[in-house]
Amino acid sequence: MKRPVAVVGVGRTRCAARRDDVSILGLVREAVDAALLDAGLDHDDIDAVVLGKAPDTFEGVLQPELMLADALGAAGKPVLRVHTAGSVGGSAAVVGTTLVASGRFQRVLVVAFEKQSESNAMWALSPRYPFSPPALAGAGGYFAPIIRAYQQRTGAPADTGLHVVCKDRANGARNPLAHVREVPTLDEAARSPMLWDPVRYVETCPSSDGACAVILASEPGDAPAWVRGAAVRSEPVIFAGRDEITPAAAFACARAVYAEAGVTDPKRQIDVAELYVPFSWYEPMWLEACGLADPGVGWRPVVEGVTAMGGALPVNPSGGVLCSNPIGASGLFRFAEAALQVRGRAGPAQVDGARTALGHAYGGGSQFFAMWVVGADRP
Amino acid sequence: MPSPLEEPYRLEYVYKRTTGPVTGAFLAGLRSGVLLGSRARDGRVLFPASEVDHRGGATVGLTPVGPGAVVVTAVEARGGHPAFGAAWWALIRPDGADTSMLHLVGAPVRAGDRVHPVWAATPAGSIFDLVWMPGEAQASAATWSGDVVTTVRTPVGLDYVARAGVAASTFFRALAERRVLGERCAACGKVSAPMRGGCATCPDAAVTTVELAHTGVLTMFTVVRFPFEGQRLAPPYVAGWILLDGSDVPLFHLVGGADPDTIEVGARVRAVWADAPVASLEAIQHFTPVSP
């Protein structure tokens, strides 16, 4: 990076199926005000604003960055809208990092939100495009075939996904901001209805209202998380020879972020990871892509409890996407939670002694990837 | 060459919008026949009432404005208004407010004209409770009780024309003749279908059209076992990726005539053609397993 970048403020809203106490503006401001308070800054201190959210069809507000400019205190400042589907919160954080690292801006506000209760994600993600068969069935309809193929290729134990759910829900139950906070037993999870076979209801992220904001700065505040590396990578959703189970862009993004962060042995050097896991089986898959497990055996640390709180590599101590999924904000929540870990401010999710943390997000048809490595130590 | 295929495509939804405390009060005010503004920290009165000033700060209270108002600027509304016929879009600033809102006036107006609110006979707590007409307002005894409209339904509909493009139109038209075409890349040699006029990984390479088999392999699939909004098939049904013999890119489609509980990855399948010859992937009704 051209110059160091620190996360100096983090703001997160409570997530819920429907935040009917706030408008979209109010939801976004809740996160922004919390981030400014955390950083000890005011809107006047912010030089540029980056807004991330997923498809505009979720709220039916086209170009929400225009509607939200006042609420973001963005009047008279550069405003940038980022859109990379589910990974957008992470991509927005990487864009914000780049703006500060470039030397152009001192302090950048990165905001991401989704108010999914304004519509219905299954409707919004299953359009009946002309010339196509009526085969689309939401995000699960896209990812379930890939999960089935992963199961078949690796021979992973059939209950691997259920282990992920029970672990993330136990973490979410400790997170007062989480949307879903019930903790099923393994047996209860196994009896959950099948939605997109082999993905059960309990293994599926909720639809949430929520927002997240981070403030990135060139000078550290009280308790900075230093951005050690930040990367985005993408690939076409369909091309000859594509392996959807191990997308090349997922691995390329990990290589890039680790190279910049000086991470040569992620299994040992990453203390805690917030991975984008909207369907349970994506934990083992992304553990492999992120170099946190060996290829084909990402299920092993899951079933052995390595990724649980108290394990050698806790994954999603916040409860992750399986407990709260305001889609456009879910990536930024991952990045923010990673920053809170190395600042020692993760509350009930805090992993003792976390010095280096990974934030990760993916989106679209496993085609957009965003990652950052944050550390307690100045680079 | 026949022109590329086009098809109308309408995207519509009735959004359930939460209003929050301030816009919710503004809408409840409309229901009561009261125009509400909000006070900014710098003393200005913002209309319509807003949660925030223009610098991200919260406003500090609600205040009635109007009912008399002035037109800041106006333009005739193209297409008029369903209820009024001819209508004018105007920026309208009520007396006592420092900012203006865009709204409809049911008669010709221009900048500087005085206008007054006309209220709906059966107000619903909606922006449609209000229109404006030229002339001075009568004094109003209406009061807002402090209630809030928490949710509004917002229908949104967008009309598109989906254009398939030259290569995809050739592909879809061939399907209507029960032929499956693909494209072979001159650089990497891979065959892709549906046709798109180029190779996804070799952007500069030429492609040639090839004919593909109607049989292939089910590479990945799910069984959709639940109903959802907008669904067009009765669950359970199988949707998945079919790699046609001779192609290197799988097609996403439905698999019919299969037992969802026993079908497996790697199953051999063949196209079942729809009765009607349509220029669309719907020319294939679904794929179905072939006995080995």
Closest residue by Cα to residue A125 from A101, A105, A150, A142: A142
**Measured between CB atoms, does A144 come within 8 Å of chain B?**
yes
Contact B18 A115 (CB under 8 A): yes
Taking 90 as the threshold, does the pLDDT of residue B55 lie above it? no
Taking 90 as the threshold, does the pLDDT of residue B1 lie above it? no
**Contact residues, chain A, for B193 at CB < 8 Å:** none
Contact A20 B241 (CB under 8 A): no
Kindly report the three-state secondary structure assignment for every residue of B185-198. Answer: ECCCCCEECCCCCC
User: DSSP string of B202-230?
Assistant: -TT--EEEEEE-SEEEEEEEEEE-S--TT
Residue A267, min C-alpha distance to chain B (Å): 30
Q: Which residues contact A76 (CB under 8 A, 6 or more apart)?
A: none
Which pLDDT band holds residue B83 (cuts at 50, 70, 90)? low
Contact B286, B256 (CB under 8 A): yes
Residues in chain B: 292
**CA distances from residue A225 to A108, A284, A343, B156, B277 in whole angstroms, order as listed:** 15, 27, 6, 42, 61
Across the interface, which of B220, B248, B252 has its CB nearest the CB of A241? Answer: B248
**Measured between CB atoms, does B53 come within 8 Å of chain A?**
yes
Closest residue by Cα to residue B256 from A40, A166, A135, A93: A135
Contact B53 A241 (CB under 8 A): no
Task: Count other Cβ atoms within 10 Å, centred on residue A187.
Answer: 8
What's the rounded Cα separation, in Å, for the pair A160 and B24?
A: 46
Closest residue by Cα to residue A335 from A179, A205, A250, A214: A214
Burial of A346 (0-12, 13-18, 19+ CB in 10 A): buried
Residue A272, min C-alpha distance to chain B (Å): 32
Residue B133, min C-alpha distance to chain A (Å): 28
Residues 244-263 (B) with a CB less than 8 A from some CB of A: 248-249, 252-254, 260
pLDDT digits (tens, 9 = 90+) for B242-292: 999 999 999 999 999 999 999 999 999 999 999 999 999 999 999 999 976
Q: Which amino acid is at A316?
A: N
Q: What is the pLDDT of residue A266?
A: 98
Tokens 């889609």 sit on residue: A327
Contact B165, B4 (CB under 8 A): yes
Residues 3-62 (A) with a CB less than 8 A from some CB of B: 18-26, 29, 32, 43-44, 57, 59-60
Residue B169, min C-alpha distance to chain A (Å): 9
Residue A257 backbone dihedrals phi, psi, to 5 degrees: -70, -35
Q: Which two tokens stand for residue A188?
A: 């209860």
Contact B90, A107 (CB under 8 A): no
**CA distances from residue A51 to A86, A211, B220 in whole angstroms, order as listed:** 14, 11, 35
**Contact residues, chain B, for A135 at CB < 8 Å:** 239, 252-254
| Side-chain half-sphere exposure of B7, counting CA atoms within 13 A | 15
Q: What is the pLDDT along chain A (379 residues), one digit of tens a residue?
A: 779 999 999 999 999 999 999 999 999 999 999 999 999 999 999 999 999 999 999 999 999 999 999 999 999 999 999 999 999 999 999 999 999 999 999 999 999 999 999 998 888 887 788 999 888 888 999 999 999 999 999 999 999 999 999 999 999 999 999 999 999 999 999 999 999 999 999 999 999 999 999 999 999 888 899 999 999 999 999 999 999 999 999 999 999 999 999 999 999 999 999 999 999 999 999 999 999 999 999 999 999 999 999 999 999 999 999 999 999 999 999 999 999 999 999 999 999 999 999 999 999 999 999 999 999 999 8
Instruction: State which residue of chain B sits closest to A197, comparing Cα positions.
Output: B223
Contact B231 A137 (CB under 8 A): yes
What's the rounded Cα separation, in Å, for the pair A281 and A151?
A: 9
Tokens 């707590």 sit on residue: B125
Contact A336, A182 (CB under 8 A): no
**Measured between CB atoms, does A353 come within 8 Å of chain B?**
no
Across the interface, which of A29, A129, A239 has its CB nearest the CB of B9? Answer: A129
Q: Where do the domains of chain A lie, and which CATH numbers do they carry?
A: 6-121+207-217 (3.40.47.10)
